[in-house]
Structure 1
Amino acid sequence: MLSFTTPAPTLDVLNLDFLKQFKYFNIVRSCNGFLLCMSEPGAHYFVCNPITRDFTTLNNHPFGNRGAELYLAFDPSISPHYKVISVLQQLVYDKSVFVDDWVFNEYCFKTRSWSPGVSFRTKQLPGCHNAKGVYCNRAIYWCTNAEFSMYFDIDAMLLTKYWRMPLSNSEWVNRSIKYFGESGVRLHLAVKVAKQTFKYDIFELEENYSRWSLRHRVDLSPVRHMIMINGGSFYDWGFNIVRPVKEEKSMLVLVAIKQTLIVYDPLTSTKLCEIKMGPTAQSIKSSISLGKVFHYLENNALVEACTDKPDSTRQLCCAIL
């Protein structure tokens, strides 16, 4: 857990020892202080709050837990209740061709069961997979190397097939997406600059969702040397964008390489600090190399009811697990 509330960022391990009854588990999503986790063996899902140290398990998905991707939706400023939405992408044989069906289900915590699913037929969108969505402000968004992508409204249970990406089809040539995520209730996208391996354009979706704005071009060329001396490859590093405060120009880039975490200021492309992860690296370095970095906000809401305790003072930090 990387805290930005102190004068210099500090690294600590998020205490999850209250989940010791689960021998093995992975964190799948985080949302405003709640964590959605999957236990092994059996792939059972549960929602927990590390602050109140309570959790609740979900019954198995009708399609099988391994077939669907689950998303956690919790917005305490809008509602004290949280949702878990599953997304299942299926190939369906229709009129002599295979087409995509996307099936959405919501878990009801009152009845402890999954609601009947709603399905939508979608056109093939390059790189758009049910596992790569990002939750933000009551919707799940997907991005793709194309001019348009799609999002799902979790309240209306409606899939809007197309929303404009920052680049046109022709502009995606020799470019690829390094990062797509949410911080400060804003969506961010990092796209590799054409023929520039360690240079990235950072886009931010406007608050009214009207368009993407190019915020920064960050040069991470120094990362190349660190990857080489650590014996890694081009893919052995994680990338994350964080808004420590809700100021318009506030943004940090986190780069995780093996046992080192680097904090960059994209406005000046300068390194602010470098943190050695020490003993914690052994348990988290494999996740870091896959870019699994979760934003975390401390919250005193109870997992079971979400109404028994008022919202507490929240501390903005980034949990790296």
Structure 2
Amino acid sequence: MASKQEVINNEHLLHEILVRLPAKPLQKFKLVSKQWLSLISNPKFCLTHSRFQKRSVKPQALLLDVLYPKLPSDFKFVTLNPDTDHYQLPNFDFIDAPNVRIVQSCSGLLLCSTTTTMDGRDPDPNLRYFICNPVNKEFKHIALPQRQRIYHAYQDVDPDIGVDPSRQATFRDLDQWANLNLSFEPLVKATIEIGVNLAFDPLKSPHYKILTVWANLLIGKNPQSNICFAFPRYSIDIYSSETESWSLGKVTIASDHAIRFERAVYLNGALHWDCAASSEETMYIDIISESVKQMPMPKEPNSKFRYFGESGGHLHFVAATGHSFLNFRVFELKADYSSWLLKYDVDLDVEPFAVIPTDRPNFIITSYLMSCAVQSEEGNGDSLVLVILGNKAISYHLVDRTVQELPCSNRDNFFYRAGNRFYPSPYFETLYYI
């Protein structure tokens, strides 16, 4: 058996030991010696560590996308280990920015937005983005490509509607701009940023990519003064951390489906987008080939709440229905992308003791939009994680129907522009340097 001194002097053996440890204690181990500092700070070690840790299918926590009005502040999260009462994520003390919101987490890196306004307007001309790693307190501002964005011109159409065409709108497929025969005279041609997404997997590449999705619109009025527009055509700019440059308009999309580009899920080398409840198809983009493909969606038009995410190497979709949002239909996408399998149909209304705090009446649940996520355990089935009233979270095992209460950080005094619903993002610790 090797002595302690032999281990310390054997850099290869030391590397094999340290690479198996979690990221947070390794930050403290940098103080042990100059040798340990050099080893743990080495970019090759950080990448190897990220790849080793990525083999785990279970994240340390689920981050809640609250809006942090003033920094520094602690992350708001749900700990997925019920036996860890005092687990703490790093905070935002290394960032000086107002109104920060987590847009997406991807293999330990966070894509965040920051803005000087809090009124929830869309689009927001003050919206900015950055990418960060809370473990090593690194962050990098993302300068999006300059486009001719038109905001105030919409006041010539309707100052109350802005870019929202949902009221009295006439939809027209926009396939080829040059040959489009409009039934109205366009007043505005606008390019609108509608989504920024992050793709990173250290098992596939040491580099990450950022996608910015733009919608191109033609807007005008018909003789009845109704708002009309041509259904948008989308273009995607792609940033590569390897070249530190943008490829503009690398991908174009024409679709008559209502795709939710603002929220992406990265899995198996592709970014996947959810769609509106009325759509039966959505899209995903292969990051390597930069090709866009269609995929089906479950037919759940009556769902009052949707969850679209990844767990255990599978894409999951959850539709919440019923009077109190406590009936859940859980789907899993087949590996060949041909269809979705209905894995679970669970009604928690019949087990109110499991999810409703005893000091709260039932009717409060009916007006509260919950967060939920599917969490896969290695060889132990799936669980449904719910964030509900009273800063409470539970894990409901979908096979054996057992319930565990999970530590949930206090969400009080934090603003979220969509009401009380928080979207959970899986978080893995990583030493990766941006």
Place the TM-score, normalised by the shorter chain, in its bin. 0.7 to 0.9
CA 105–9 in structure 1, closer or farther in 2 if over 3 Å, else same: same
The structural deviation recorded for 1:83 is 0.9
Match of residue 273 from structure 1: 405
Match of 1:48 among 126, 132, 150: 132
CA distance in 2 between counterparts of 1:292 and 1:232 reads 17
Match of residue 20 from structure 2: none
CA 286–258 in structure 1, closer or farther in 2 if over 3 Å, else same: farther
The unaligned stretches of length 5 or more in structure 1 are 304-321
Match of residue 306 from structure 1: none
The unaligned stretches of length 5 or more in structure 2 are 1-76, 117-125, 150-190, 220-227
3-state secondary structure, aligned to 2:388: strand
3-state secondary structure, aligned to 1:19: coil
The structural deviation recorded for 1:32 is 0.5
Whether 1:107 aligns to 2:107 is no
The structural deviation recorded for 1:88 is 1.8
The structural deviation recorded for 1:207 is 3.4
One-letter amino acid of the structure 1 residue matched with residue 216 of structure 2: Q
One-letter amino acid of the structure 1 residue matched with residue 127 of structure 2: A
CA distance in 1 between counterparts of 2:428 and 2:403 reads 25
Whether 1:2 aligns to 2:78 is yes
Whether 1:134 aligns to 2:262 is no
CA distance in 1 between counterparts of 2:82 and 2:392 reads 19
Identity in percent? 26
CA distance in 1 between counterparts of 2:408 and 2:253 reads 47
The structural deviation recorded for 1:255 is 2.9
Higher gyration radius (CA) = 2
| Aligned-residue CA RMSD (Å) | 3.3
Whether 1:57 aligns to 2:190 is no
The structural deviation recorded for 1:236 is 3.1
CA contact (8 A) 2:213 2:236 kept: yes
CA distance in 2 between counterparts of 1:157 and 1:124 reads 21
The structural deviation recorded for 1:193 is 4.9
3-state secondary structure, aligned to 1:14: coil
Match of 2:334 among 185, 206, 211: 206
CA distance in 2 between counterparts of 1:298 and 1:276 reads 18
CA offsets per residue over residues 242-295 of structure 1, 9 Å max, x none? 22x343723342333342112211224442225464xx3225574892232110
CA 173–80 in structure 1, closer or farther in 2 if over 3 Å, else same: closer
TM value normalised by structure 2: 0.59
The structural deviation recorded for 1:100 is 2.1
CA distance in 2 between counterparts of 1:164 and 1:60 reads 31
Match of residue 386 from structure 2: 254
Between 1:128-137 and 1:194-203, the stretch displaced more is: 194-203
CA distance in 2 between counterparts of 1:256 and 1:17 reads 25
Match of 2:193 among 63, 67, 84: 67
5 Å-filtered alignment, 1:169-208, equals 172-193=300-321, 197-208=325-336
3-state secondary structure, aligned to 1:281: coil
TM value normalised by structure 1: 0.77
The structure with the greater share of residues assigned to strand is: 1
The structural deviation recorded for 1:187 is 0.9
Count residues with an aligned counterpart. 292
CA 235–66 in structure 1, closer or farther in 2 if over 3 Å, else same: farther
CA distance in 1 between counterparts of 2:395 and 2:231 reads 43
Between 1:218-227 and 1:82-91, the stretch displaced more is: 218-227
CA offsets per residue over residues 148-170 of structure 1, 9 Å max, x none? 2221222222221x312233xxx
Match of residue 38 from structure 1: 113
CA distance in 2 between counterparts of 1:11 and 1:159 reads 43
Whether 1:163 aligns to 2:163 is no
CA contact (8 A) 1:256 1:289 kept: no
CA contact (8 A) 2:78 2:393 kept: no
